[in-house]
């Protein structure tokens, strides 16, 4: 993995972000299996956006074992996070971790194709994309009409280890580059160089 941010800077920022035991356990679990998660700084950002936005409905496409879902659920006061993954075993782990964190009353878990299941939900206040990268464009085009007024899109990995800068020979990087350009054309948006690039966008009203 090519680092977009100096690892010492990242370590410094992460050291300031205090977390509970469950988060530490989830980070260890991810590290031990090489499971890609949004990371502590990215997670904290999801939490802060959720606290500020006060969403009733968050839909997460690609939940893994629940790390990002944890941060959304922690930030929610009156609403729910729909966590979708096509692997039952990932959501089984998510249920264990979020149970320990006493956040299960804030989540609904669905097994299956995230784009297909996501379409069932209208009035989405935060749509989070962290599914297979080749489907980002399809996902946003299928689900953007389901966003609430003022709804937010957050997408992880949009810099794709810097490969979007020269995406000619990489199919996934090409999709992500098209996705980034599409979003910036139609939404108020920016990309934060947090870990692998986190895009935040809101409908241009």
Ligand X SMILES: C[S@@+](CC[C@H](N)C(=O)[O-])C[C@H]1O[C@@H](n2cnc3c(N)ncnc32)[C@H](O)[C@@H]1O
The interface with ligand X within residues 4-33 (CB under 6 A) comprises none
Q: Is residue 162 a contact point for ligand X (CB under 6 A)?
A: no
Q: Is residue 199 a contact point for ligand X (CB under 6 A)?
A: no
Q: Is residue 132 a contact point for ligand X (CB under 6 A)?
A: yes
Phi, psi of 87 (to 5 degrees): -110, 115
State the nearest-atom distance from the C-beta of 166 to ligand X, in Å. Answer: 23
State the nearest-atom distance from the C-beta of 149 to ligand X, in Å. Answer: 26
Q: Is residue 180 a contact point for ligand X (CB under 6 A)?
A: no
Query: Of the candidates 10, 96, 113, 138, which one interacts with ligand X according to CB under 6 A?
Result: 113
Q: Is residue 73 a contact point for ligand X (CB under 6 A)?
A: no
Query: Of the candidates 73, 114, 127, 140, which one interacts with ligand X according to CB under 6 A?
Result: 114
Q: Is residue 36 a contact point for ligand X (CB under 6 A)?
A: yes
Give the separation between CA 74 and CA 18, rounded to whole angstroms: 14
Residues that bind ligand X (CB under 6 A): 36-38, 62-64, 67-68, 84-87, 90, 113-115, 130-132, 135
């Amino acid at each position: 993995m090519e680092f977009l941010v100096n690892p010492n800077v990242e370590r410094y920022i992460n050291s300031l972000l205090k977390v509970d035991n469950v988060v530490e356990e989830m980070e260890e679990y991810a590290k031990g299996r090489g499971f890609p998660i949004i990371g502590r700084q990215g997670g904290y950002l999801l939490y802060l956006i959720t606290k500020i936005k006060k969403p009733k409905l968050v839909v997460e496409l690609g939940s893994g074992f629940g790390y990002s879902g944890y941060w959304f659920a922690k930030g929610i006061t009156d609403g729910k996070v729909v966590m979708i993954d096509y692997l039952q075993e990932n959501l089984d782990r998510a249920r264990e971790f979020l149970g320990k964190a006493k956040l299960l009353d804030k989540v609904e878990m669905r097994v299956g194709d995230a784009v297909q299941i996501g379409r069932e939900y209208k009035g989405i206040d935060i749509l989070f994309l962290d599914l297979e990268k080749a489907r980002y464009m399809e996902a946003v085009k299928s689900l953007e009409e389901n966003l609430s007024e003022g709804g937010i899109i957050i997408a992880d990995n949009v810099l794709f280890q810097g490969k979007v800068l020269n995406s000619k020979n990489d199919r996934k990087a090409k999709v992500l580059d098209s996705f980034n350009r599409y979003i910036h054309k139609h939404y108020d948006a920016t990309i934060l160089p947090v870990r692998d690039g986190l895009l935040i966008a809101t409908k241009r009203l």
